[in-house]
Structure 1
Amino acid sequence: MALSPKFYTWLVGCFAAMGSMLFGYDLGVIAGVLVAPDFLKTTNNPDSDYLGFITSSMLLGAFAGSIPASIIADKYSRRSAIVAGCLVFLFGGSMQTGATGREVMLAGRFFAGFGIGMIALLVPLYQSEIAHPSIRGSLTTLQQFFLGIGALVASFVIYGCSNNYRGTEFEWRFPLALQLVPAIPLGALIFCFPESPRWLVAQGRNEEALAALARLHASGDVTDTFVVAEHAELQLKIREEVESRSAWSEIFGDVQSIRKIMIGIILQFSVQMTGVSAIQYYSPQIFSNFGFSNQRTFLFQAIASIFALVGEGLCVGFVDKVGRRWPLIICNMGTGLVFIVAAALQANYPSTPDNLNKAASYTFVAFTWLFQLFFSAGIGPLSWAVPVEILNTNIRAKGVAITNLASWISNFMIGQVTPRALASVGWRFYLLFAVCGFTNALTFFLILPETKGRTLEEMDDWFAQTPFIVILSKAKPIDTKERERQLAAGMDGPVAQRLGHNDFEKDGSEKSKTEYLDTA
């Protein structure tokens, strides 16, 4: 039995999302590596500042990889860029696994991060450009869901290696080697799947774009009414974009483009100000304040990864029904509340190895799990999904690269300052994340338009119609499948209205389809 077009597209998106496992696994594995006795011996017992740099050197690599990824993606295709990202990651991951000193480890972290920066940009970019409008949110939030799978696997691998191979090389080399696995099939097989139709149209390869759309959205039928109308819309919009100005000049020379880039930058920066990386990178140090051993901490992290995966699954399942704005608003408020409780627990019930308060300690742990649920149900997934859908095809790759730079540099900042902040101000550091949770929510309430259900090609017009303070807008959200119904009918949709083809025949005759496509 043939797969339905949406299910096939979903599977393609899932395969691409394997690249996200690389980032998630790295986030989950590094906390266990940094406290492994043999790793510390191999790297000559680095101090807390140097450990912070080992952690964050991956983020510097990701920062460096973002712009090259966008250039390769625009020049050579989305799939080619994904292959390049996999190759760089395999090189860096191999260096980490075989590291004989801190210098090799730092270099390996940087190159692995370079590959992660490329893939973290390319996966949601590719997913957004192959998706139906009604499932674009769930497809692009797969980035965070697979990131969560990687983090979950890493948590249990670290827990198992710490318990069974304590003090050996295997304790940290095996977890680092395992991160290479997802990159191999992704890089080897991505060319078995369709290229981005939008990239193909931008290159003037219209017949290939039509075939790719048909393969993704109509089981290969190039005469399908939906596909023909969609192809016409792509041709018209991308021709307008490419003929207007270059990508870089459009990014910095158009008010609405700058607005979209700033929304993406604010969104990515806000993610780190929830405190998520502080918990992920330095959980052993944080939980040791409550008297928990590293092994117990790794178990807690494994359980936290399960909560995160549940939240990510909820986001994937419901984001195209509830939209983007309110999950970001509510989940940011939730993380702020969690850190208020966490700070209060440590302030009022301080625990040390000599003076344990078990009730306060385990309550703190439970609230870190609740934090993961809030973060993963909206904040993390949507930080990747929103930028790729609000930018037009002409600037999408380069624009998302710029927004991702904010993610990596803010992630680097948190990775560097957290050890020193915990040592110097303790629980007061959590107040920063508590405040930012609520300021994040207010910011998105004010500036983020709802994009649920809209086609990528209408985003420019939608933003032009929406005031900068979006709560002043009188426009109403559209039904998730409204645009798809219009395209499938071949009339009354955005393409027909723009081309003046309101009389495009509902019966989908071959003549009407051909005329419609030729006009585009």
Structure 2
Amino acid sequence: MGFLTLVEDRPTPSAVYNWRVYACAAVASFASMMIGYDSAFIGTTLALPSFTDEFAFEKMSATHLALVKANIVSVYQAGAFFGSFFAYGSAFFVGRKKSLWIFAVLFELGAGIMLAAGGSRGLGPIYAGRVLAGIGVGATSMIVPIYIAEIAPPAVRGRLVGIYEAGWQIGGLVGFWINYGISEHLAPSHSQWLIPFAVQLIPGGLLLIGSFWLHESPRWLFLKGRREQALRNLCWIRQLDPNDMYILEEVAFIDAAIEDQATTVGLGFWQPFKAIARNHRVQWRFFLGGMLFLWQNGSGINAINYYSPTVFKSIGITGTNSSFLTTGIFGVVKTVLTFLWLFFLIDKLGRRWLLMGGAAGGSVCMYIIGAYIYKNPTSEKSAHLSSGGIAAIFFFYLWTAFYTPSWNGTPWVVNAEMFDNNTRSLGQASAAANNWFWNFLISRFTPQMFNNMGPSGCGVYFFFASMMILSIVFVWFLIPETKGIPLESMDRLFEVRPTSKANRVVMTEVHERDEEFRIAAEEVGLNAAKLS
């Protein structure tokens, strides 16, 4: 099996790790390409001379310009926040597959509206289109991790959900480089800045087309009582016969989980809301999932994604193309390290150690960058970077090396795993909404932070570094290791104390349960043979 050989929750046929489950995850992850591309292209597009000239940015005061840029970027996150909750109802009533189709259409509509903007029409079409596109990406950011987690074998669940993150980085890589390419090869014009906006239609179109091929989540079908279709889809995804022991066990686990939820939480649309209101343990799980995205955004990643020219200017990078080139290299580093995380780290090292190690190393880098900028504010920098400036750029890329294989995608993996069947959709909606809420705050106020937090915005780096230190304490005491835990055992995982030992305790229980199930199945088989 090569790199597919991983620690399994139970004996697993090699057929389970087949191309279909990877293909479904990859097709669904065109949604994250939409998100990644936007997070990367918008900041550099706002810095294109052709864009700033057409919308007369040079005539605006620094305060007004910061507000305009913040509004252009952040209305997208505001739409995504509400889209996350819209997707809960859609995913519950029409399923994961049809929901992806619906919101892909909405995203394409929004992306198309943005193309109507111009000097005569103003920025209105961009604002309106980004709100609609934001609703689309917010919804898909809630649905896709759930869908992938529900179809994934436990041993590669982190890797498959990680494909979602890989799509994010591939989209981001294109977004980081596109404006460097067009600024190098196209003269400033209306068409020059319109091209990066038009490219959004590509990943959205791929998701729209691919959603027709996807098979609906078997877990959602079982939850809706559509057992025949659920079994058929499960066998198709696993490439196993309906009578295979692995399929029988998986169906038994799903049925047991659904029965337990029916007698405790309930299976209706409003039942998870009621469960949250009356169950402190469920509230706690929602809190943990949402806080992971506070710490993720508190690391500074989205300030860098959305305002990379501002960030690199604070370090001393001058000139449009130099800034775009530095941003492009940042995108390359992120993408390469994401695949390292995806194929070698997430299901080997687990979630906890990645989060804590990434935060520890990243905070040191941010403190060093902030200290350099404090001693060498932009106004004192020459046209060429000093040795100190080169060192600051090195630590920036080193920060990227710590952040990317830890906080960049791991919170999405944990949130896709940590909720039971009946609260998973609402839990993921809450997690996605939290992500977009904190994302909105960062994107809305980053320009003002750089204007007001110390010389050249050095205080911004100290702030992000301190947030990363606090995240280590949060993870150590409150986040259990979810690696290898079946989805149906997540409730038990979050009950075990201390948190650091929860994974080991639950995995022991899972193996004991599986052995009891196997012995019982063998006895049933022997009795049937005797009767025949």
TM-score normalised by the chain length of structure 1: 0.90
Q: Note closer, same or farther for the CA distance 1:274–1:506 as it changes in structure 2 (3 Å cut).
A: farther
Shift of residue 509 of structure 1? 8.7
Correspondence 1:320 to 2:347: yes
Correspondence 1:298 to 2:359: no
Correspondence 1:58 to 2:76: yes
| Letter of the structure 2 residue corresponding to residue 240 of structure 1 | D
Corresponding residue number in structure 1 for 2:7: none
Corresponding residue number in structure 2 for 1:447: 478
Corresponding residue number in structure 1 for 2:499: 470
Corresponding residue number in structure 1 for 2:278: 253
- Give the SS at the match of 1:320: coil
Q: Note closer, same or farther for the CA distance 1:236–1:478 as it changes in structure 2 (3 Å cut).
A: closer
Shift of residue 201 of structure 1? 0.7
Shift of residue 475 of structure 1? 6.1
Corresponding residue number in structure 1 for 2:522: 505
| Letter of the structure 2 residue corresponding to residue 204 of structure 1 | G
CA RMSD of aligned residues (A): 2.3
Of 24, 28, 39, the residue aligned with 1:27 is 39
| Letter of the structure 1 residue corresponding to residue 262 of structure 2 | V
> How far apart in 1 are the matches of 2:348 and 2:317?
43
Corresponding residue number in structure 1 for 2:48: 36
What are the Cα deviations for residues 55-87 of structure 1, in whole angstroms up to 9, with x where unaligned? 111000100100111110111000111111101
Corresponding residue number in structure 2 for 1:7: 18
Give the conservation status (yes or no) of the 8 Å contact 2:145–2:412: yes
> How far apart in 2 are the matches of 1:412 and 1:42?
26
Shift of residue 375 of structure 1? 1.6
What are the Cα deviations for residues 64-120 of structure 1, in whole angstroms up to 9, with x where unaligned? 100111110111000111111101110111111222321111111111111110111
Give the conservation status (yes or no) of the 8 Å contact 2:15–2:240: no
Give the conservation status (yes or no) of the 8 Å contact 1:32–1:172: no
Structure 1: which 5+ runs fail to align? 487-491, 513-520
Correspondence 1:363 to 2:391: yes
Corresponding residue number in structure 1 for 2:335: 309
Shift of residue 247 of structure 1? 1.7
> How far apart in 2 are the matches of 1:105 and 1:451?
41
Give the conservation status (yes or no) of the 8 Å contact 1:94–1:108: yes
> How far apart in 2 are the matches of 1:160 and 1:203?
49
What are the Cα deviations for residues 264-314 of structure 1, in whole angstroms up to 9, with x where unaligned? 011011111001111111121222231421211111111111111122112
Mapping for residues 327-338 of structure 1, pairs under 5 Å: 327-338=354-365
Tell me which moved more, 8-17 or 440-449.
8-17
| Paired-residue identity, % | 27
> How far apart in 2 are the matches of 1:185 and 1:366?
36
Corresponding residue number in structure 2 for 1:517: none
Corresponding residue number in structure 1 for 2:10: none
Tell me which moved more, 276-285 or 244-253.
244-253
Corresponding residue number in structure 2 for 1:87: 105
Corresponding residue number in structure 1 for 2:305: 280
| Alignment length (residue pairs) | 495
Shift of residue 506 of structure 1? 8.7
Of 462, 470, 477, the residue aligned with 1:431 is 462
- Give the SS at the match of 2:243: coil
Q: Note closer, same or farther for the CA distance 1:506–1:25 as it changes in structure 2 (3 Å cut).
A: farther
Of 374, 395, 408, the residue aligned with 1:347 is 374
Q: Note closer, same or farther for the CA distance 1:354–1:77 as it changes in structure 2 (3 Å cut).
A: closer
What are the Cα deviations for residues 384-429 of structure 1, in whole angstroms up to 9, with x where unaligned? 1111211011011111111222211111111122111111222022
Correspondence 1:235 to 2:255: yes
Shift of residue 252 of structure 1? 2.8
- Give the SS at the match of 2:520: coil
| Letter of the structure 2 residue corresponding to residue 323 of structure 1 | G
Q: Note closer, same or farther for the CA distance 1:34–1:475 as it changes in structure 2 (3 Å cut).
A: closer
What are the Cα deviations for residues 25-53 of structure 1, in whole angstroms up to 9, with x where unaligned? 00110012111233234444361111111
Shift of residue 349 of structure 1? 3.1
Give the conservation status (yes or no) of the 8 Å contact 1:98–1:173: no
Shift of residue 191 of structure 1? 3.1
> How far apart in 2 are the matches of 1:391 and 1:127?
14
Corresponding residue number in structure 1 for 2:292: 267
Corresponding residue number in structure 1 for 2:11: none
Q: Note closer, same or farther for the CA distance 1:130–1:508 as it changes in structure 2 (3 Å cut).
A: farther
- Give the SS at the match of 1:236: helix
| Letter of the structure 1 residue corresponding to residue 329 of structure 2 | I
Tell me which moved more, 157-166 or 223-232.
157-166
Give the conservation status (yes or no) of the 8 Å contact 1:130–1:216: yes
TM-score normalised by the chain length of structure 2: 0.88
Tell me which moved more, 355-364 or 332-341.
355-364
Give the conservation status (yes or no) of the 8 Å contact 1:202–1:242: no
Correspondence 1:153 to 2:154: no
Tell me which moved more, 271-280 or 4-13.
4-13
> How far apart in 2 are the matches of 1:97 and 1:137?
37
Q: Note closer, same or farther for the CA distance 1:97–1:366 as it changes in structure 2 (3 Å cut).
A: farther
Q: Note closer, same or farther for the CA distance 1:511–1:132 as it changes in structure 2 (3 Å cut).
A: farther
Corresponding residue number in structure 1 for 2:213: 192
Shift of residue 243 of structure 1? 4.1
| Letter of the structure 1 residue corresponding to residue 242 of structure 2 | V
Structure 2: which 5+ runs fail to align? 1-13
Shift of residue 508 of structure 1? 7.5
